[in-house]
């Protein structure tokens, strides 16, 4: 019993660690895509943010400055995306691919130019990192069975950005469904003509959607390089931006289901690591690659409409050109 | 973006000048980056040009990279003509290589090369096409967005290959996930060997006879797009789907055909890499070629001739970039990836950024002279 509880706590913690950047990126993608802009550059923006966070925290020994730098840099990238897709009516997928590739190259080029360590940044000091926070009374309560263990073993002991990611979900829900801006954001993704007719700027709304998107990917990047790890490593986003995109689609472009999808994908990852080389009775050795591929397979199956239907915002991917 | 009624630009500006301006902007920004990290851009260009074109070994590598880029560039282009974005060239190339590998693992000693070669061409094409056919089917018949599904299929292909290489196809008794080497007689001849048949000696490079197949594919695809009924249908669906339907074209079938060809072309990367260069199955032989194909297609304006030119340029960038890494310690392969990203940005996403300026300048210049009758089309706006 006790062992099972420890196992569950460990797996749950691993799930949360993996899911945090996914949740931040999924919320980011939601703001962009709900406004009608396809964003496959979550990956690139997160990578760029991770690099900036590590570089600035290393230079200043301040985690918060690193976080700020990551947010700013990812916002700049989002604005570049907006400049291409909103101002110049460029192809949104092409622009996203360009950003991903640009960041995949530029982070290493800049890393070598600044630090001469083959594309890595030097290790960030503890002051420059987001370290685990112990919630009040966590120590004292750890001996209380079940509830105490749950509180001190699972709820407490994560870093600030983890809590921020889980706060981002209700915040996103509130902004998208309960504010005037959110209503307009959703409207501009469904029918920009109607929004334009009402005298609201389609371009400015979409730019704001992208700004929020950029900021959140910046936080996700900072999580990778100065919270989960202590330096930037080349390609450290490792496809998580795409998984977050899949999770957002899996959650049908809605905040809470998207978060649940991120948690599910995180759990799959945690299980995959645990099952490495384990022989399950009756089945034999479970191929780890199968579990790792499951998020992608599930997303394809969902998109194909075999388990419910995931419908994108109606105006997504279409540049808005005013009629004359 | 102002698209107010202006005089249409003559074709040579639209097809010739604007793409060149876009690439020049991309290269200028790349030069700025090189300058910013403290190296001399002009020196870098000279080293790259010499490294890629200055001696026979460099030329061989440049053309070898070009071969792969032609395949993936054509693959992206045919999908573009149908209005689709095939971002899955990476996975299709991977699975295409798997097809060649399985074919050769089974038959490398049993059959002579002149039977093996067509078999392997078929295997790489069919495996790549099959990997593209699933997203194509889902797009055509179930309405799932092909960009997302092809991205997912890239990751699924990668997981599948890791599983197969680590657990099934690995050469017994070794650590690194590679298959056994195919029998000598099944290797495609390197170009150095081809030249040797004629008594000429060139340096040995990965360049092999697959390059001829790439050129053939360019011609064949050109003929398909502009000289066949199916090619016409793909362009019709890409330009205006309702009109195509009105004209009796079945867009679903057209999507399937175009993506099948697209996947097959990407799969040929496997032919070049597995049968031509490595002579065994291994991981990540396709790395990056699929994505570079997007840049190549955008730069080549989806025309086979443009794609050959763009592939050559990227071949020069790849090979020259590798040479540059030797000469300038601050510059690595990633600089080439950066340049690639900039090219996609400026000649893809921002392709029309320069058009208003160009047309302004053109209108000023054209107003001065008497209008030549052939440069302005007969729409009668002048």
Cα B310 to chain centroid distance, Å, stands at 9
Which pLDDT does position A142 carry in this prediction?
76
Q: HEC profile for chain B?
A: CCCCCCCCCCHHHHHHHHHHHHHHHHHHHHHHHHHHCCCCHHHHHHHHHHHHHCCHHHHHHHHHHHHHHHHHHHHHHHHHHCCCCCCCHHHHHHHHHHHHHHHHHHHCCCCCHHHHHHHHHHHHHHHHHHHHHHHHHHHHHHCCCHHHHHHHHHHHHHHHHHHHHHHHCCCCCCCCCCCCCCCHHHCCCEHHHHHHHCCCCCCCCCCECHHHHHHHHHHHHHHHHHHCHHHHHHHHHHHCHHHHHHCCCCHHHHHHHHHHHHHHHHHHHHHHHHHHHHCCCCCCCCCCHHHHHHHHHHHCCCCHHHHHHHHHHHHHHHHHHHHHHHHCCCCCHHHHHHHHHHHHHHHHHCCCCCHHHHHHHHHHHHHHCCCCCCCCCCCCCC
Contact B149 A303 (CB under 8 A): yes
Neighboring chain B residues of A119 at a CB cutoff of 8 Å: 332, 334
Indicate whether B28 belongs to any domain.
Answer: no
Indicate whether A309 belongs to any domain.
Answer: no
Indicate whether A237 belongs to any domain.
Answer: yes
Per-residue pLDDT band for A171 (boundaries 50, 70, 90) equals very high
Interface of B with A in 265-294 (CB under 8 A): 291, 294
DSSP secondary structure letters along A244-295: HHHHHHHTTT-HHHHHHHHHHHHHHHHHHHHTTTPEETTTEEPPHHHHHHHH
Indicate whether A57 belongs to any domain.
Answer: yes
The answer to whether B122 faces chain A, any CB pair under 8 Å, is no
Q: Does residue A160 have a pLDDT over 90?
A: yes
Top residue of A42, A77, A100, A109 to mutate, by most chain B CBs within 10 Å, is A109
Neighboring chain B residues of A300 at a CB cutoff of 8 Å: 134, 138, 144, 149, 152-153, 156
Top residue of A304, A307, A311 to mutate, by most chain B CBs within 10 Å, is A304
Distance from CA of A76 to the nearest CA of B (A): 15
Distance from CA of A298 to the nearest CA of B (A): 10
- pLDDT tens for A254-298 read 999 999 999 999 998 888 877 776 777 766 777 888 888 888 898
Contact A293 B155 (CB under 8 A): yes
Per-residue pLDDT band for B382 (boundaries 50, 70, 90) equals very low
Average pLDDT over residues A241-247: 92
Model-level pTM?
0.89
Indicate whether A33 belongs to any domain.
Answer: yes
Q: Does residue B80 have a pLDDT over 90?
A: yes
CA-nearest of A303, A296, A278, A298 to A288 is: A278
Which pLDDT does position B380 carry in this prediction?
41
Percentage of residues in chain B having pLDDT higher than 90: 65
Domain with A196 in it? 2-125+138-247
Average pLDDT over residues B183-191: 92
Which pLDDT does position B358 carry in this prediction?
87
Which pLDDT does position A315 carry in this prediction?
87
Contact B147 A93 (CB under 8 A): yes
The answer to whether B168 faces chain A, any CB pair under 8 Å, is no
Q: Does residue A54 have a pLDDT over 50?
A: yes
Indicate whether A117 belongs to any domain.
Answer: yes
Q: How many CB pairs under 8 A join A and B?
A: 158
Neighboring chain B residues of A289 at a CB cutoff of 8 Å: 159-160, 162-163, 166
Percentage of residues in chain A having pLDDT higher than 70: 96
pLDDT, chain A, mean: 90
Instruction: Determine the Cα–Cα distance for residues A9 and B349; give it in Å rounded to an integer.
Output: 46
Neighboring chain A residues of B339 at a CB cutoff of 8 Å: 105
Contact A99 B341 (CB under 8 A): yes
Contact A292 B159 (CB under 8 A): yes
Q: Which residue has the higher pLDDT, A247 or B376?
A: A247
Structural domain count, chain A: 1
Which pLDDT does position A290 carry in this prediction?
86
Nearest CA in chain A to B297: A94
Which pLDDT does position B329 carry in this prediction?
80
Which pLDDT does position A44 carry in this prediction?
97
Which pLDDT does position A117 carry in this prediction?
87
The answer to whether B344 faces chain A, any CB pair under 8 Å, is yes
- pLDDT tens for B156-172 read 999 999 999 988 888 88
Indicate whether B56 belongs to any domain.
Answer: no
pLDDT, chain B, mean: 89
For A22, residues 6+ apart whose C-beta sits below 8 A from its C-beta are A240, A243, A244, A247, A262, A265, A266
Indicate whether A306 belongs to any domain.
Answer: no
Indicate whether B123 belongs to any domain.
Answer: yes
Indicate whether B6 belongs to any domain.
Answer: no
- pLDDT tens for B244-281 read 999 999 999 999 999 999 999 999 999 999 999 999 99
Instruction: Determine the Cα–Cα distance for residues A14 and A263; give it in Å rounded to an integer.
Output: 10
Nearest CA in chain A to B348: A94
Q: Does residue A130 have a pLDDT over 70?
A: yes
Q: What is the Cα Rg of chain A in Å?
A: 21
Which pLDDT does position B57 carry in this prediction?
93
**Using CB atoms, which residue from B85, B138, B332 is nearest to A304?**
B138
Contact B155 A242 (CB under 8 A): yes
**Using CB atoms, which residue from B159, B338, B352 is nearest to A88?**
B352
Q: Does residue B71 have a pLDDT over 80?
A: yes
- pLDDT tens for B2-23 read 444 456 778 888 778 888 899 8
Which pLDDT does position A288 carry in this prediction?
82
Indicate whether B27 belongs to any domain.
Answer: no
The answer to whether B75 faces chain A, any CB pair under 8 Å, is no
**Using CB atoms, which residue from B33, B149, B349 is nearest to A94?**
B349
Contact B348 A245 (CB under 8 A): no
Which pLDDT does position A150 carry in this prediction?
79
Interface of B with A in 23-52 (CB under 8 A): 33, 36-38
Neighboring chain A residues of B352 at a CB cutoff of 8 Å: 88-90
Distance from CA of B290 to the nearest CA of A (A): 12
Q: Which residue has the higher pLDDT, B218 or B381?
A: B218
Domain with B143 in it? 68-315
Q: Is A233 helix (H, G, I), strand (E, B) or coil?
A: coil
Instruction: Determine the Cα–Cα distance for residues B172 and B180; give it in Å rounded to an integer.
Output: 8
Contact B147 A40 (CB under 8 A): yes
- pLDDT tens for B124-140 read 999 999 999 999 999 99
Indicate whether A40 belongs to any domain.
Answer: yes
Instruction: Determine the Cα–Cα distance for residues B343 and B90; give it in Å rounded to an integer.
Output: 19
Neighboring chain A residues of B331 at a CB cutoff of 8 Å: 109
| Terminal-to-terminal C-alpha distance of chain A | 71
Instruction: Determine the Cα–Cα distance for residues A67 and A225; give it in Å rounded to an integer.
Output: 10
Indicate whether B3 belongs to any domain.
Answer: no
Indicate whether B189 belongs to any domain.
Answer: yes
Which pLDDT does position B370 carry in this prediction?
56
Q: Give, as one character, the DSSP assignment of residue A322.
A: -
Indicate whether A179 belongs to any domain.
Answer: yes
Nearest CA in chain A to B160: A289
Contact A106 B338 (CB under 8 A): yes
Per-residue pLDDT band for A49 (boundaries 50, 70, 90) equals very high
Which pLDDT does position A133 carry in this prediction?
86
Nearest CA in chain A to B1: A88
Per-residue pLDDT band for A324 (boundaries 50, 70, 90) equals low
Which pLDDT does position A23 carry in this prediction?
97
Instruction: Determine the Cα–Cα distance for residues B363 and B366; give it in Å rounded to an integer.
Output: 5
Read off the CATH number of the domain in which B140 is found. Answer: 1.10.3470
- pLDDT tens for A13-39 read 999 999 999 999 999 999 999 999 999
Average pLDDT over residues B111-118: 92
Top residue of B22, B156, B334 to mutate, by most chain A CBs within 10 Å, is B334
Which pLDDT does position B375 carry in this prediction?
47
The answer to whether B160 faces chain A, any CB pair under 8 Å, is yes
Distance from CA of A136 to the nearest CA of B (A): 42
Which pLDDT does position A307 carry in this prediction?
66
Per-residue pLDDT band for B78 (boundaries 50, 70, 90) equals very high
Per-residue pLDDT band for B216 (boundaries 50, 70, 90) equals very high
Structural domain count, chain B: 1
**Type and span of the H or E element at A105:** helix A92-115
Contact A101 B149 (CB under 8 A): no
Indicate whether B190 belongs to any domain.
Answer: yes
Per DSSP, what are the bridge partners of residue B208?
A: B190
Contact B341 A113 (CB under 8 A): no
Which pLDDT does position A1 carry in this prediction?
60
Distance from CA of B52 to the nearest CA of A (A): 21
Neighboring chain B residues of A275 at a CB cutoff of 8 Å: none
- pLDDT tens for A77-120 read 999 999 999 999 998 999 999 999 999 999 999 999 999 888 88
Asked if B235 contacts B81 with a C-beta cutoff of 8 angstroms, the reply is: yes
Distance from CA of B379 to the nearest CA of A (A): 20
**Using CB atoms, which residue from A97, A110, A299 is nearest to B291?**
A97
Q: What is the Cα Rg of chain B in Å?
A: 22
The answer to whether B162 faces chain A, any CB pair under 8 Å, is yes
- pLDDT tens for B33-68 read 999 988 899 999 999 999 999 999 999 999 999 999
């Amino acid at each position: 019993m006790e062992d099972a509880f420890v196992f569950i706590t460990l797996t749950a913690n691993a799930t949360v660690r993996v899911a945090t950047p996914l949740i931040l990126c999924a919320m980011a993608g939601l703001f962009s895509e709900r406004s009608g802009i396809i964003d496959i550059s979550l990956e690139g923006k997160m990578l760029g943010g991770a690099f900036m966070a590590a570089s600035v925290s290393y230079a200043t020994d301040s985690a918060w400055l690193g976080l700020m730098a990551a947010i700013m840099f990812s916002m700049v990238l989002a604005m570049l995306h907006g400049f291409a897709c909103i101002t110049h009516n460029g192809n949104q997928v092409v622009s996203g691919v360009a950003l991903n590739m640009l960041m995949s190259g530029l982070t290493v080029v800049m890393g070598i130019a600044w630090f001469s360590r083959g594309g890595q940044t030097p290790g960030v000091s503890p002051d420059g990192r987001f370290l685990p926070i112990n919630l009040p009374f966590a120590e004292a309560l750890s001996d209380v069975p079940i509830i105490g263990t749950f509180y001190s073993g699972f709820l407490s002991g994560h870093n600030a950005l983890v809590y921020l990611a889980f706060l981002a979900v209700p915040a996103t829900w509130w902004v998208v469904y309960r504010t005037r801006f959110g209503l307009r954001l959703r409207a501009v993704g469904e029918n920009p003509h109607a929004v334009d007719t009402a005298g609201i700027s389609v371009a400015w709304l979409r730019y704001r959607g992208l700004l929020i998107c950029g900021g959140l990917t910046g936080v996700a990047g900072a999580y990778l390089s100065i919270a989960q790890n202590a330096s930037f490593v080349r390609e450290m986003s490792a496809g998580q931006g795409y998984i977050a995109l899949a999770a957002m689609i899996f959650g049908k472009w809605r905040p809470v289901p998207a978060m649940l999808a991120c948690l599910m994908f995180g759990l799959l990852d945690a299980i995959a690591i645990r099952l490495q080389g384990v022989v399950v009775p009756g089945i034999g050795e479970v191929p780890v690659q199968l579990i790792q591929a499951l998020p992608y397979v599930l997303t394809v199956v969902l998109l194909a409409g075999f388990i419910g239907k995931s419908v994108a915002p109606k105006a997504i991917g279409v540049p808005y050109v005013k009629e004359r | 973006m102002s698209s107010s009624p202006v005089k249409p630009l003559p074709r040579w500006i639209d097809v010739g000048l604007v793409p060149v301006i876009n690439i020049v902007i991309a290269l200028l920004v790349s030069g700025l980056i090189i300058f910013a990290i403290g190296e001399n851009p002009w020196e870098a260009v000279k080293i790259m040009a010499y490294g890629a074109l200055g001696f026979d070994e460099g030329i061989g590598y440049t053309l070898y990279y070009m071969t792969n880029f032609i395949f993936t560039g054509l693959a992206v282009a045919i999908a573009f003509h149908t209005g689709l974005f095939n971002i899955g060239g990476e996975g299709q190339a991977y699975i295409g290589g798997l097809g060649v590998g399985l074919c050769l693992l089974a038959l490398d000693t049993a059959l002579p090369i002149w039977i093996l070669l067509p078999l392997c061409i078929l295997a790489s094409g069919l495996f790549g096409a099959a990997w593209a056919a699933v997203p194509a089917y889902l797009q055509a018949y179930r309405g799932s967005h092909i960009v997302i599904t092809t991205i997912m299929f890239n990751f699924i292909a990668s997981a599948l290959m890791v599983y197969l290489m680590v657990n099934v196809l690995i050469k017994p008794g070794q650590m690194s996930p590679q298959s056994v080497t195919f029998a000598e007689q099944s290797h495609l001849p390197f170009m150095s060997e081809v030249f040797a048949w004629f008594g000429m000696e060139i340096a040995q490079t990965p360049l092999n006879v697959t390059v001829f197949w790439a050129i053939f594919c360019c011609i064949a695809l050109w003929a398909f797009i502009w000289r066949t009924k199916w090619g016409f249908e793909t362009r019709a669906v890409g330009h205006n789907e309702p009109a195509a339907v009105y004209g009796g074209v079945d867009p679903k079938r057209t999507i399937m055909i175009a993506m099948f060809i697209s996947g097959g072309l990407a799969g040929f990367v496997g032919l070049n890499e597995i049968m031509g260069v490595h002579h065994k199955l291994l991981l990540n032989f396709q790395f990056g070629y699929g994505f570079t194909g997007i840049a190549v297609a955008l730069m080549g304006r989806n025309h086979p001739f443009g794609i050959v030119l763009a592939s050559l340029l990227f071949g020069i960038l790849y090979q020259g970039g590798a040479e540059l890494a030797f000469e300038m310690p601050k510059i690595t392969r990633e600089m080439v990836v950066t340049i690639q990203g900039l090219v996609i940005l400026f000649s893809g996403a921002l392709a029309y950024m320069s058009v208003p300026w160009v047309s302004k300048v053109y209108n000023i210049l054209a107003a001065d002279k008497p209008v030549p009758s052939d440069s302005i089309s007969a729409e009668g706006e002048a």
